[in-house]
Structure 1
Amino acid sequence: MGMVEGHRRITPPDGMPVWDVDPYDPGILQNPLSYYSELRSKGEPVYLPRYSVLAVGRYETTQKVFSDHENFVSSRGVGLNDFKLEKPWRKPSIILEVDPPEHTRTRKVMARALSQKVVKGFAELFRDTAERIVDSVLEKGTIEAVSEFAEVFPTTVFPKAVGMHDSNARYLVDYGAMVFNAVGPDNEIRRRSMEKETEIVAWINGACARDRLSEDGLGARIYADADAGEITHDEASMLVRSFLSAGVDTTVTGIGSALWCLSQNPGEWERLKADPSLLRPAFDEVLRYTSPVHTFGRTAGRDTEIAGFPVEEGTKILCVLGAANMDPDKWEDPQSFRVDRRPRGHLGFGAGIHGCVGQNIARGELEAVLKVLIEKVDRIEPAGEAVWRPNNSIHALDTLPITFIPN
């Protein structure tokens, strides 16, 4: 039946909705709400002939497919490329692109390294860094908040938390963009992102080596587990690499999205300042409302079904998390941003066994930033038009002009 974008072409069963749309069109990636709405309205699943994949976007079905690791596997790639049929551009992640029992073993190591207890040990680092950045932007007043704030915080604290001797903020941000763009098709967005692949990947791999790490960071914890025989030393290096591929770009996106949400909704900023106990639900609402990871894939590991339709082994399924997070059947008035919503069950951190293993550190970073902003900033105001950056898997801001008014 042929191949398309690294996976086997399929024929949809009779009666399945068909929609000739390109979900990776730059216009859709920058402004996806209409696409999300129409995808949900078409039914579930929907066949997209351009890439010969199925797509799900209603909350109940998306959550079910994304969580069902027995029928819909990650080991064959979370993008369009089927690792069973074509070699991926880099060695697959041994935590993101793997299934049990291998996943159980490596996730245990990562979860221990990123536990709440460990993350609490970075509280002073997060707080001090947030204060320095906020003081700096208050002196300037108006800034471009992506490059001068959202990128600065994670690229400052995360290398220190990992224990990296080497740090290159541009490479860290660009590597994350590369990883998430690579799950999409071979489009201009992906090709442009991969232009410095050889240079950046070589630097990343070198920076993850044991002799390039301190003895008191997250990386050292991973290598200690290798010494204890829980994983191999090669696996330890790959798990440290996972910190960098998933722990920087997504946090940059989360900070930028939070600043955008709060600047666009001044009443919610006032509500958050009046009740700082809403910090955690506010962050969850940012994730639900903006869906930093808008689409991730799964592969049918066996003949199965979705919503009563037969699904052949090898079929690629796009789980459109952004659409599920905006499903009015799940959320009341989903297109309203509310810091007190408490959106339990949102898919911003994934779901099931592949739920974000680093969410403790992501929460620690974002809560530190928001706490300092509450203490020092009276108003967060738009200073121009925000521009979203097309990315095959991440919904991220490219530029965000913001004015910070001090207390």
Structure 2
Amino acid sequence: MTVSDADPFSDEVLAEPGALHAELRDAGPVVLLRRYGVHALARYEQVHAALVDWQSFASGAGVGLSNFRREPPWRPPSLLLETDPPHHDAPRVVLERVLSPRALRGLRARWTADAHALVDEVLQQEEFDAVPALAEAFPLRVFPDAVGIGEQGREHLLPYGDHLFNAFGPANDLVARGNPRRAERAAWVDAQCARDALRPGGFGAAIWAAADRGDITPAQAPLVVRSLLSAGVDTTVQGLAALLHAVATHPAQWARLRAEPGLARVAFDEAVRWASPVQVFFRTATGEVRIGGAVVGDGEKILMFLGAANRDPRRWDRPDEFDLTRDPSGHVGFGMGLHQCVGQHVARLEAEAVLGALLERVGSLDLAGTPRRHLNNTMRAWGSLPLRVRRA
């Protein structure tokens, strides 16, 4: 087995992981990262296989570097991300029903109108920072209302999610920065998950109704609501930012979108493949697992590089290009298999609403300055994305 001394969680790699991804893919189907004592998968074939084989590559010992077999988690484990069947089954079924495309139909018109109103506000200026103005503003405008939480304290959502995704990595400076307010923010999120804190008619109330029917237990209901608030904001924010960066740096693809606005959903999935807002997740071997010619021992951690798999030339032609002629289906940006992102339909609906509003109003857009990365142990994120637009 190839051994590497590389640190995938260094600031340099988090800012620009492409060179390490290529190095790990070329090194073989599995590489031992000596610094952390974990096994890395960077090729699409092996990443996809690990994602769909929950029996061999378990999530129940944590999807971060921390191994719940040996150390307690810093918060109660997620019933969606950090459990396996049978404990995973009932919460998953409930949330799939609450967030199904059919259930979301009633939100499409409202979110489309909200996107048009927001874009009209933003386009009063020819230059703006698309991260706070669009990528953060739209999910924070529509998603908490859809869940049914109150107005007060919503400023905790983004820093809470940022810390959560940092905590999946090693205890580095990024984690240390979030630790002082971790308990405060976690307590606020937990309080929003209680039945009495949620407005009628939202996703949260629907989850509690499932508990009343006996589909899940009353103890599980707040943890299922928490899954929405933990993973339903930051991932969509960075998916939108990735999409906006992609079209701003690929004018021919923007022109194609304007000519064929029906490609909006393809554009979002291609952006998720190309940029992979969620870069990594871990699994734990449930026994001796053979990968290629190597054997990973029982209880050992496996680091799956989703971003590297999504640009693996063994799977994709011209993988480093953002291309709307491509069929991006099969990308692992939302995971794959039993633990695939249950909220991906929500993210797609939000992205289509914002992109549709922009396509109607903007003839061209490009970078108005140098974008700035926001470093995170798990996510490839933008902190600033200055755009310049020309009205259609």
TM tier relative to shorter chain: over 0.9
Please say if residues 379 and 405 of structure 1, whose CA atoms lie closer than 8 Å, have aligned partners that are also in contact: yes
Question: 1:209-251 CA deviation, whole Å, 9 max, x = no partner?
Answer: 1111111000011000100111112211011110011100000
CA distance in 1, matches of 2:174, 2:22: 24
Give the letter for the 1:74 counterpart: S
Identify the residue that residue 80 of structure 1 maps to in structure 2.
65
Identify the residue that residue 175 of structure 1 maps to in structure 2.
160
Give the letter for the 1:172 counterpart: L
Aligned residue for 2:277, secondary structure, equals coil
Aligned residue for 1:296, secondary structure, equals strand
Question: 1:90-143 CA deviation, whole Å, 9 max, x = no partner?
Answer: 000011100011111110000000011111111122112211211111102211
Give the letter for the 2:226 counterpart: R
Identify the residue that residue 25 of structure 2 maps to in structure 1.
40
RMSD (Å), alpha carbons: 1.0
Aligned runs of 1:256-271 on 2, under 5 Å? 256-271=241-256
Question: 1:326-371 CA deviation, whole Å, 9 max, x = no partner?
Answer: 0011110111111221112100110010111111111111111111
CA distance in 2, matches of 1:196, 1:143: 30
Q: Give the number of aligned pairs.
A: 392
Aligned runs of 1:79-158 on 2, under 5 Å? 79-158=64-143
Please say if residues 164 and 212 of structure 1, whose CA atoms lie closer than 8 Å, have aligned partners that are also in contact: yes
Please say if residues 299 and 315 of structure 1, whose CA atoms lie closer than 8 Å, have aligned partners that are also in contact: yes
- Out of 298, 303, 307, the residue aligned to residue 288 of structure 2 is 303
Q: Does 1:332 align with 2:322?
A: no
Identify the residue that residue 406 of structure 1 maps to in structure 2.
391
Identify the residue that residue 12 of structure 1 maps to in structure 2.
none
CA distance in 1, matches of 2:51, 2:42: 11
Give the letter for the 2:37 counterpart: S
Please say if residues 76 and 84 of structure 1, whose CA atoms lie closer than 8 Å, have aligned partners that are also in contact: yes
Percent identity of paired positions between Structure 1 and Structure 2: 44
CA distance in 1, matches of 2:249, 2:178: 29
Cα drift, residue 173 of structure 1:
0.8
Cα drift, residue 197 of structure 1:
0.4
Aligned residue for 1:302, secondary structure, equals coil
Please say if residues 278 and 340 of structure 1, whose CA atoms lie closer than 8 Å, have aligned partners that are also in contact: no
Please say if residues 45 and 55 of structure 1, whose CA atoms lie closer than 8 Å, have aligned partners that are also in contact: yes
Identify the residue that residue 254 of structure 1 maps to in structure 2.
239
Identify the residue that residue 322 of structure 1 maps to in structure 2.
307
Runs of 4+ in 1 over 6 A off after TM superposition: none
Question: 1:145-200 CA deviation, whole Å, 9 max, x = no partner?
Answer: 11121111001100111111235443111111111111000000111133310111
Give the letter for the 1:338 counterpart: D
Tell me whether 285-294 or 338-347 shows the greater mean CA deviation.
338-347
Please say if residues 166 and 207 of structure 1, whose CA atoms lie closer than 8 Å, have aligned partners that are also in contact: no
Q: Does 1:197 align with 2:187?
A: no
Please say if residues 39 and 296 of structure 2, whose CA atoms lie closer than 8 Å, have aligned partners that are also in contact: no
Please say if residues 159 and 167 of structure 1, whose CA atoms lie closer than 8 Å, have aligned partners that are also in contact: no
TM-score normalised by structure 2 residue count? 0.98
CA distance in 2, matches of 1:23, 1:340: 31
Identify the residue that residue 365 of structure 1 maps to in structure 2.
350
CA distance in 2, matches of 1:195, 1:152: 26
Tell me whether 50-59 or 339-348 shows the greater mean CA deviation.
339-348
Please say if residues 256 and 397 of structure 1, whose CA atoms lie closer than 8 Å, have aligned partners that are also in contact: yes
Tell me whether 303-312 or 283-292 shows the greater mean CA deviation.
303-312
Closer/same/farther in 2, CA of residues 206 and 390 from structure 1, 3 Å limit: same
CA distance in 1, matches of 2:293, 2:328: 28
Identify the residue that residue 25 of structure 1 maps to in structure 2.
10
Give the letter for the 1:280 counterpart: R
Aligned residue for 2:282, secondary structure, equals strand
Give the letter for the 2:140 counterpart: T
Please say if residues 262 and 268 of structure 1, whose CA atoms lie closer than 8 Å, have aligned partners that are also in contact: yes
Please say if residues 153 and 188 of structure 2, whose CA atoms lie closer than 8 Å, have aligned partners that are also in contact: no
Identify the residue that residue 229 of structure 1 maps to in structure 2.
214
Please say if residues 17 and 44 of structure 1, whose CA atoms lie closer than 8 Å, have aligned partners that are also in contact: no
Tell me whether 301-310 or 257-266 shows the greater mean CA deviation.
301-310
CA distance in 2, matches of 1:68, 1:388: 33
Give the letter for the 1:47 counterpart: L
Please say if residues 282 and 340 of structure 1, whose CA atoms lie closer than 8 Å, have aligned partners that are also in contact: no
Cα drift, residue 44 of structure 1:
1.7
CA distance in 1, matches of 2:248, 2:152: 31
CA distance in 2, matches of 1:120, 1:307: 44
Cα drift, residue 406 of structure 1:
1.2
CA distance in 1, matches of 2:171, 2:153: 27
Give the letter for the 2:62 counterpart: G
Give the letter for the 2:298 counterpart: E
CA distance in 2, matches of 1:155, 1:327: 33
- Structure 1: unaligned runs, 5 residues or longer: 1-15
CA distance in 2, matches of 1:243, 1:125: 20
